[in-house]
């Protein structure tokens, strides 16, 4: 697997957030919507035991809602984000012992297999090198994949200041998903509470086992 420099990956994101609409960083109602989508589109609902890896949880509202509803069956939930974000997560999730916290710099230390890889509005905001590093490290050890992101370059146009270093790389994601998972679907979600950022919402769902639901 290609080695990359993990230091600075999160800071690079944080430095660019300033030029984004602050409400686009994370909206709690949308994180709750994501729980509905995960329950609908993955094996979580029907599983007896389920492990999840989440990249980019921000303040863990989605993780909190997942644990509140499905905590009895979620036996491992691994969160990866920048250190300040993980502090928020720890604050919200302290009562669940099955949660593990890794900074972006520590991501190499994560071992094991997972039922589900989840990332919402995160991977498309990281560097192409980081996206590939994460996909190549984790897709082979995850049974299902659930990624919510935009594929619209309009959302994050190239700029003189930031170039196109961090950008939706949706075609690359789809290529990787097809490489590692038997089934691949792309869904424009219809949820109970539609978002006001429609171009930011695109669900890429891939799974590795036959659909028995
Ligand atoms: C736009 S927010 C989305 C937060 C949340 N998942 C949601 O859907 O509202 C992007 C998140 O990705 C995190 N992030 C940025 N770069 C990252 C990286 N290289 N690895 C993991 N997380 C990263 C940010 O700290 C932030 O929590």
Q: What CATH number is attached to the domain comprising 65? A: 3.40.50.150
pLDDT by position in tens, the chain (length 213): 668 999 999 988 888 776 555 566 677 888 888 999 999 999 999 999 999 999 999 999 999 999 999 999 999 999 999 999 999 999 999 999 999 999 999 999 999 999 999 999 899 889 889 999 999 999 999 999 999 988 877 766 667 766 667 778 899 999 999 999 989 999 887 776 666 666 677 899 998 654 444
In a domain, 164, yes or no: yes
Q: What is the pLDDT of residue 6?
A: 95
Q: What is the pLDDT of residue 13?
A: 85
In a domain, 38, yes or no: yes
In a domain, 24, yes or no: no
User: Dmax of the chain from CA atoms?
Assistant: 50
Candidate from 58, 65, 126, 203 with most ligand 1 atoms within 8 A of CB, to mutate: 58
> Ligand 1 centre and the CA of 57: distance in Å?
6
CA-nearest residue for atom 2, ligand 1, is 25
The structure's pTM equals: 0.93
In a domain, 26, yes or no: no
In a domain, 16, yes or no: no
Q: What is the pLDDT of residue 145?
A: 97
- Structural domain count, the chain: 1
In a domain, 169, yes or no: yes
Which residue, among 130, 140, 117, has the nearest Cα to 169 in the 3D structure?
Answer: 130
Q: Helix H segments across the chain?
A: 9-17, 28-41, 61-70, 83-93, 128-138, 170-180
State the sign of the Cα–Cα–Cα–Cα dihedral 186, 187, 188, 194.
Answer: negative
Q: What is the pLDDT of residue 164?
A: 64
Determine the Cα–Cα distance for residues 56 and 140; give it in Å rounded to an integer. Answer: 19
Q: What is the pLDDT of residue 205?
A: 93
In a domain, 9, yes or no: no
Residue range of the domain that includes 47:
32-212
In a domain, 19, yes or no: no
> Ligand 1 centre and the CA of 44: distance in Å?
22
């Amino acid at each position: 697997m290609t080695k990359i420099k993990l230091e600075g990956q999160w800071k690079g994101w944080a430095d660019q957030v300033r030029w984004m609409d602050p409400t686009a960083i994370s909206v709690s109602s949308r994180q709750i919507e994501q729980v509905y989508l995960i329950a609908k589109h993955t094996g979580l609902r029907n599983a007896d035991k389920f492990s999840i890896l989440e990249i980019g949880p921000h303040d863990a509202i989605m993780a909190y809602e997942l644990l509140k509803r499905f905590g009895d069956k979620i036996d491992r939930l691994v969160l990866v984000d920048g250190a300040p974000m993980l502090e928020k997560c720890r604050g919200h999730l302290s009562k669940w012992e099955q949660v593990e916290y890794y900074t972006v710099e520590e991501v190499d230390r994560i071992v094991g297999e997972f039922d589900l890889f989840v990332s919402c509005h995160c991977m498309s905001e990281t560097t192409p090198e980081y996206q590939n590093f994460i996909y190549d490290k984790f897709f082979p050890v995850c049974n299902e994949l659930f990624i919510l992101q935009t594929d619209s370059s309009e959302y994050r146009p190239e700029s003189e200041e930031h170039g196109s270093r961090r950008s939706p790389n949706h075609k690359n994601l789809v290529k990787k998903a097809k490489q590692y998972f038997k089934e691949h679907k792309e869904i424009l979600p219809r949820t109970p509470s539609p978002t006001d950022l429609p171009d930011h919402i695109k669900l890429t769902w891939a799974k590795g086992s036959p659909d028995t639901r």
